[in-house]
Structure 1
């Protein structure tokens, strides 16, 4: 049986365009995604770069208002940048008007311990897919698992550190991730007490029909916590292809049944570009490496370049992003469906999450439409 397919949207800004247009594009894609049969529409949170999804909780409300049935969520709220009360009240406000449709995805980004992807050692018994000694790329049933990216290769971290300073109150210290997840859960459930023992109730927010998710990219704290709490888990293969499979294994190893889930539930993400044929798709995706290169150098995601005019990456530039290029699924619908099916088999994913970035909005719409048709989403929706 084919698993559900969902969309992750960063609201990318193309060169020569604006954030305002990117947001309009997001709303249009969400409406189309609902028509095409996608299961969820999730919004990323990134700051001070050329994407328009920085305020994912605000954008979530706009997308919920523009759609009728599709689940809408965040992928993920960076807990270190927000108080627990602000998150729960924001979701509670949207849920009050669009009840039962929201997914509150949370992640470690924004916490000091999460700087540049640092994670605790994986739980004992979880063996990394890629041997840490040889660091050789592994291919499982056609799924490429490169060595995890070494964040020390990012030479300039000044922009990232400056963004942390701008996103945190001066002198404030973000809570530890586990502690803040506990706060969010308590506020939703109505069991929250302050440090002084005072009972506080989020209005709106308490009792909201919101599904809580944990996002992670390696076999560390996030995967283990999601498993221990019996929450659904999303593994970011599209960002961290070298460690996402380890994250899935760590989550399943740590899983304990809860009132929410009797068994593990895993979503795995992939970056895709679909076109009428493989050659066209490869051309549309040819500036993806430029985009990732900006991130990897520390400059952050820049405007997405026009493949008709952008110069190719140099050999040195390509080496910095070769893992992401090798793990992007590009081609005709048949080609990409085959690669997604392999990813689902290898990870045992219960659902797949696709993100597709293209310079032209029409090409991004077409990418998602072609994939939806080839995956049989509309037929499943009709049934």
Structure 2
């Protein structure tokens, strides 16, 4: 289960965080294997901005379930700090902590939102250097041809949807996180290698001897890599022999290519002898398809706010969502996400998730659910767990 700590309508960040802890306890009771929290910044609708802290709080409030980040966004957090933070939690909760690592490419985001105009600049005046990929405005990752809508054995792989929004929030975030966008960014594979070296106690000091990096050194935790395309993250995870989570719920189009790139790059390691794949899915389950569709109605508005640069806003009610008048551009901007949200009765959703597992060869699924009311989110996860476990039995 992946949670973003959504702020309830009329509620506070404290309410959202308490709901996250409650949901983690529900996940443990229902038999979920992992409970992960996301990382979002400058968003009025979600409170999961400090995953290391939140993981510690959730681990302390549960007993058995694995708890982790989905994902710490590199390079927002230096490799040393990420290893130390999660090593600290793992020292008190050994065998239960997952350090999920993502890659937040702010340069690419700002370049795409600059469109064909002059290079984007941060409030400080520093320019954003454009890459060839973003100058062309192509919808596909490097090396992958742009495609139309596809379907494979019942799994939708729609063409990527884009919406030209305001980059101001991203520009401000770059300044607040002290990004040097006029310089080359860190190499993700090197950051990942540093984290593993800290955890394994082999990062060299100035005298050539390993540095003592406590409590990261020897920490009993799992390192995961998250990725949305068959690019740097998938290759880095495979080369390091780590488990990999493919984000179908964020960019569904290339999930098959992304998983294939990871498998092709995989090399056995001290962590894994064979590739291990998790695939994400956005899910809303209710007693029947009609009720589930009503609960999921606000999802398009929520996705649009994020794509438009406004950040995740508090989830509106289904009635407010139904009353909203959409432009063709807005609908096109969220079409891929709406087409790949798993909505319906337990039987409907479980059937679709089974298809996703078969098509991707996933070893695990991570599901995320957002609804206006926390109780509906709890009910969704309870229904899914009951029917998923029942069908497997």
Q: TM-score, structure 1 length as denominator?
A: 0.89
Aligned to 2:238: 227
| Correspondence for 1:239 | 250
Q: Tell me: CA distance 1:292–1:256, structure 2 relative to 1, closer, same or farther (3 Å).
A: same
- The residue that corresponds to 1:157 in the other structure is 167
Q: How does 1:158-173 map to 2 (within 5 A)?
A: 158-168=168-178
- CA deviations 1:221-274 (Å, max 9, x no partner) are 000111111110000000111122221111111111112111110000000000
Could you list the runs of 4 or more consecutive aligned residues of structure 1 that deviate by over 6 angstroms after TM superposition? Answer: 116-121, 169-173, 377-380
Is residue 182 of structure 1 aligned with residue 176 of structure 2? no
Q: Which stretch shows the higher mean deviation, 170-179 or 296-305?
A: 170-179
- Post-superposition shift, 1:314? 1.0
Give the alignment partner of residue 359 of structure 1, picking from 352, 369, 372: 372
2:294 equivalent to 1:299: no
Matched, 1:15 2:9: yes
Distance 1:294 1:76, change over 3 A: same
Q: Distance in 1 between matches of 2:263 and 2:383?
A: 32
1:39–1:378 CA distance, 2 compared to 1 (3 A): farther
What are the within-5 Å matches in structure 2 for residues 54-65 of structure 1? Answer: 54-65=49-60
Q: Which runs of 5+ in 2 are unaligned?
A: 113-129, 134-139
Residue by residue, what CA displacement relative to the aligned partner does 1:153-177 show, whole Å, maximum 9, x if unpaired?
4332121121122123779985321
Structure 1: any 5+ residue segments left out of the alignment?
Answer: 1-6, 122-126
1:72 partner SS: strand
In the superposition, relative to structure 1, how do residues 220 and 196 fare at CA in structure 2: closer, same or farther (>3 Å)?
A: farther
Deviation, 1:14, is 2.5
- The CA deviation string for residues 89-140 of structure 1, in whole angstroms up to 9 with x for no partner, is 111111111111111110111564676799999xxxxx99x9835x320011
1:212 partner SS: strand
- 2:121 maps to what in 1? none
Secondary structure at the aligned position of 2:319 is classed as coil
> 1:3 is matched with which residue?
none
Give the 3 Å change call, closer, same or farther, for CA 43–139 of structure 1 in structure 2: same
Distance in structure 1 (CA, Å) of the matches to 2:197 and 2:188: 14
Change (3 A) 1:115 1:342: farther
In structure 2, the residue corresponding to 1:106 is in which secondary structure?
strand
Instruction: Tell me the alpha carbon deviations over residues 266-306 of structure 1, each in whole angstroms, 9 at most, x when there is no partner.
Output: 00000000000000000000000000010111111111111
The alpha-carbon distance between structure 1 residues 348 and 156, as it changes in their structure 2 partners (threshold 3 A), is: same
Q: SS of 1:376's equivalent?
A: helix
The equivalent position to 1:369 in structure 2, one of 382, 388, 391, is 382
Q: Which residue, out of 83, 98, 102, partners 1:88?
A: 83
Map 1:184-223 to 2 at 5 A: 184-194=195-205, 199-223=210-234
Aligned position for 1:36: 30
- 1:60 to 1:378, Cα distance in 2 relative to 1, 3 A: farther
Residues 331 and 120 (structure 1), Cα distance of their counterparts in 2 relative to 1, 3 Å cut? farther
Give distance in 1, aligned partners of 2:131 and 2:352: 28
Provide the residue aligned with 2:265 in structure 1: 254
